[in-house]
Structure 1
């Protein structure tokens, strides 16, 4: 694996590939990373100086069964073709280009695709529309160079951005309160540790992923060392005194958005006019009909003609009823009087409609009685994606933004999400967002001090509030987390850096489009992948029970979505998967079937979601590992 970048994301991604997936990594960085803040620069310099120590530590870790790979650092001021060749792009499996400049990443991707047409590319681009075109261009170039129109996932191009990868993780952390979360097909899946109850695992959830290391005296003499990944039912039943890691679906327990809620700036017709005005209009219509009926009785005319005459009298455009019966003259006078009453009612209707449209295009305020919602601070690049993700999950949100021209304000207006314009550090702003009645606070502004100040103030208002704050530096985020946990042990606190959240998704994309995420289990790791059954003899034509190989892989769910629907949604990574769904806020129903019977026969056209170890997935996908023998 080759990683090229100029900020903390490159170093974090390299660490993710080494520590979680056990890959051999070549890291290409500038000689002096000036775009990274001093704490990150210090860690990068120290990491380069201790390269030999990392090699030794990684080798010892792999010998002990822990995931880990080696890393080689190449320093280059510019990412030229010679530098890519020195990094080994021509023989690498995947290349990640995570420079802060889109043009640099695109130029290097074009060069790398020429050097190695079968290389798996992962690009960091902020321009999403340009990224779609670049992705198609590079995949087409790989197909032409290899002469294979279906190059598969081994020579694919994936375009990601910090906002698309970090936003779902922040939303998931606010709901689940943990980083052991995998997102797939719009679902949040959480791996939780369950301790034995009366000698057995209580509530296995969707599936038992692992048995933890034995800790009691009854299992002290067992030969099992470390956790047992993907155990079969017999091993789970026989486990005594051992905890387990089970998979469960995360659901939002608070209030949800009402069904059928209008989205957009055009309100419903009933909301254009007030209740009193609607009754006034109904009364005038009733009077017109009564006058038409009376005119029919008096003159004996046809009801339609009588109605027409009444409307002409109502608008004062009919001839005077001279030399006509007295009843006709009285009805004409009454119609004229009703027309005078109609004028102010019509004027009031026009003014109310204009006011309604003006209010619809303006920012909404939090409704009375709102509670259990999520308060979102910041509507920048990250905040906008977080808002869209929360709205897709139908979770009520109240946003706080200081800049009325922020990019997320228009999105909030379109989604009809309440927004408070003001500085969050000022008194009364969080109270206007009803922070005392909310379920969680997400502070995702670009200023670390603003996020920290807002969280501290919110904790002073409500000590048990669940908070998630975005911080730039990972070390600073860890220090803040530990301090807040010590000060408020009964509250949920999560502090995340964008590089920490984005790295797992970039790493998953480098492993292949099949990878949905990774969950650590003690010193080992479990991978979640979406695999087409066709072409895999270990799965095709076998039942779910027969396809299960303990300790290697296990089929969890069946994907029943059509091919067009799959291409419209992208798989998400671990806690920080890429955003899924459209930006219009529509909720997509999950197409995954979790309650698969062991006797279900897997067909070639099926697509399944499975949990696997690194070795098991490499064997299943036929991937040739470049690791030393015995690891």
Structure 2
């Protein structure tokens, strides 16, 4: 293959399926500056992304499973194929067909079948599959946690979390710590601003030597011991419970009347329970009265016999007891009349109890349903819509130890789902009222009906303006309109978020996790350094500041991995690197367009206080800047002097701090100030 053909293959991508997800995948790929060919069965009637036709190199109408159609799309020249139709069978067949025609094309497939995906990956190679339903669920769950925890993910057995922290005057860091002092092997600063609600769009846009002050906003990555979030305290502690129990003993009569009144008011909404209670009380009173009267006035009867006779009468057995005319004469007339009334009343009330019991058994459909937890009262998360996305969000929030309540409009959900969470059924207004929305911490709206999502979002905002509102959409236009209408809400377009992960995977990278922050998607992406890689041979500091990403793990096989690595590690073939990056940072890495405009700072070395400082200072300069050791020693042996290498500001400032520790006096100067 010629060099020109190789370049064509590197820049050509195929997308099969031009639905909502397919259109967003095309848009995400075009941000990388590559050529995109699309296969679709029919010409789309409308475009969700208005200028999408202008982004396509070619649109081929036909069945993407057919070899002739794939050959028309020049599949042998395609670096990757994104197979994202809504039919999983079509996706699997297309993947098999492409692999037969081109064994080198990377396959990125839309599929929710985990076992099949694993088998296809083993057989086809260079294959990755995503479930567009579950992939963004973590972004919804993190958004629901509120303003503090932005993301939680695991790397090599270690949990890491991204936190947003508002500094107040009583904070232990306030007016005490410089920003660079917060960085360590357990913590990495991502964003910082003095202005609440206004965070920079890029990493590293903060001043390391600034003092942290009240009202500052700080976003940082930090290691965590375990996956644990402290849920809101909705119940009193043991001590408070004990005190409350002691008070309740003293005021039991008043409390009992209050509970009875509350139950009575509630029973107007649940008339079945009210009727059952009245019938049960009446039957019990009649049973007690009958037993006492028969024992007192019937000659020679025992207490057990009196109780049995009363039960027989209540069950309609008057004829069984008084069928003998001779026996009737020895019983007082008023007792006979009472027995008749007992039998009539028992027939009525016991019949009602039988009817209620029968109704309860039939309505339960003969299933024993597990009793669900009670609905939280405050500081909880309400999930509205419990389809596949909602269920995945609920499971994640349960792992995070959050108090949650689910609202569903599917009447069969109770019998088909095993989620152990409080559930609410019914019409919209009643369901929102029962969910204690006015005291909820967050409201997550993820039904499949976008109009319903809009309606619920407006109702939820009216009920609780202070809650964190998270809304699911699939339409780009609706997402934009909702973001303007509800500026404080987090509107997540599922296909737009997923498409960025699909596009990233198409370039051969592994997406570990993703979350939304500051109106952009942050991806946790893993790289395996290859010989032609744009990262090969660079210092981690150059990767971080040149490409605008945050290295969070480095591993030089077969050694163990290093979390929060320092910037003086030089990447080599075979290394493993995990970064936090926006889609813009990933594009830069793919293109190799490293930003050198910010690399205009130099270090002026004034003097060293000892010969040992000269020796160690040269080592520090070579290690942090990447220059040769001979060049560093030449500078340290002829002080004062300026290091002739241009550096990024954070890189230069770190070098100055290291030199100061070694008793070497140095200062920062701009490249044009010499």
Pick the TM interval, shorter chain: 0.5 to 0.7
> Aligned partners of 2:404, 2:516: CA distance in 1, in Å?
31
CA contact (8 A) 1:420 1:429 kept: yes
Match of 1:174 in 2: 144
1:138 to 2:124 alignment: yes
Partner of 1:98: 84
Of structures 1 and 2, the larger Rg is shown by: 2
Q: Report if the CA contact (8 A) 1:194-1:201 is conserved.
A: no
- What is the CA distance between 1:451 and its match in structure 2? 1.8
Match of 2:232 among 255, 264, 272: 255
CA contact (8 A) 2:407 2:424 kept: yes
Of 3, 20, 28, 2:38 maps to: 28
1:47 aligns with 2:52: yes
Q: Is the 8 A contact 2:136 2:498 kept in 1?
A: yes
Q: Does 1:15 align with 2:17?
A: no
User: Are residues 1:551 and 2:521 paired?
Assistant: no
Deviations, residues 6-44 of structure 1 (Å, cap 9, x unaligned) = 31111111111222xx2403141437456xxx7xx2445
SS in 1 for 2:402: coil
1:226-265 equivalent positions in 2, closer than 5 A: 236-237=208-209, 247-248=220-221, 254-255=231-232
Task: Identify if the C-alpha distance between structure 1 residues 204 and 510 changes in structure 2 by more than 3 Å, giving closer, same or farther.
Answer: farther
Correspondence for 2:421 among 414, 417, 420:
417
* Distance in 2 between residues matched to 1:391 and 1:484, nearest whole Å: 27
What CA distance in whole angstroms lies between the structure 2 residues aligned with 1:368 and 1:238? 46
CA gap of 1:181–1:475, structure 2 versus 1, over 3 A, is: farther
The aligned counterpart of 1:89 is: 75
Tell whether 2:130 aligns with 1:164.
no
| Structure 1 pair 597–496 and aligned structure 2 pair: CA distance change class (3 A) | closer
> Which residue is 1:510 aligned to?
506
Q: Is 1:379 matched with 2:386?
A: yes
Residue 403 of structure 2 is matched in structure 1 by 396
Distance change (3 Å), C-alpha of 1:455 and 1:561: farther
Instruction: State TM-score, norm by structure 1.
Output: 0.55
For residue 476 of structure 2, the aligned residue among 474, 477, 484 is: 474
Q: 1: CA distance between counterparts of 2:234 and 2:117? A: 33
C-alpha contact 2:179 2:210 (8 A) present in aligned 1: no
Of 554, 562, 578, 1:609 maps to 578
1:78 matches 2:90:
no
| TM-aligned CA deviation for residue 395 of structure 1 | 2.0
8 Å CA contact 2:234–2:376 kept in 1: the answer is no
Shift of the 405–256 alpha-carbon distance from structure 1 to 2, 3 Å rule, reads farther
Shift of 1:497: 2.8
SS of aligned partner of 2:486: helix
The Cα of 1:549 is off from its aligned counterpart by: 6.4
| Stretch deviating more after TM superposition (384-393 or 80-89) | 80-89
> Structure 1 residues 405, 533: CA separation in 2 closer, same or farther (over 3 Å shift)?
same
What does 1:251-290 align with in structure 2 at a 5 Å threshold? 254-255=231-232
Q: Against the structure 1 CA distance between its residues 605 and 105, is the aligned structure 2 distance closer, same or farther, given a 3 Å change threshold?
A: closer
Q: Which residue of 2 aligns with 1:578?
A: none
Q: Secondary structure at the match of 2:135?
A: helix
1:65 equivalent in structure 2: none
Structural RMSD (CA): 5.5
CA–CA distance in 1 between the matches of 2:201 and 2:435? 45
Are the structure 2 counterparts of residues 132 and 178 from structure 1 closer, same or farther at C-alpha, using a change threshold of 3 Å?
Answer: farther
Q: Is the 8 A contact 1:508 1:516 kept in 2?
A: no
Q: Secondary structure at the match of 2:526?
A: strand
Cα distance, 1:537 vs structure 2: 11
**How many aligned residue pairs are there?**
433
* 1:99-128 Cα shifts (integer Å, max 9, x gaps): 011122112111111222121111112433
**Is the 8 Å Cα contact of residues 473 and 494 (structure 2) preserved in structure 1?**
yes
- Superposed CA deviations along residues 163-184 of structure 1, whole A, max 9, x for unmatched, are 1112122112222569986855
Q: Residues 165-244 of structure 1 correspond to what in structure 2 (within 5 A)?
A: 165-176=135-146, 183=153, 185=155, 190=162, 206-208=187-189, 236-237=208-209
- TM-score (norm: length of structure 2): 0.52
Stretches of structure 1 that go unaligned for 5 or more consecutive residues are 52-70, 140-155, 213-225, 259-354, 486-491, 564-590
Alignment partner, residue 456 of structure 1? 458
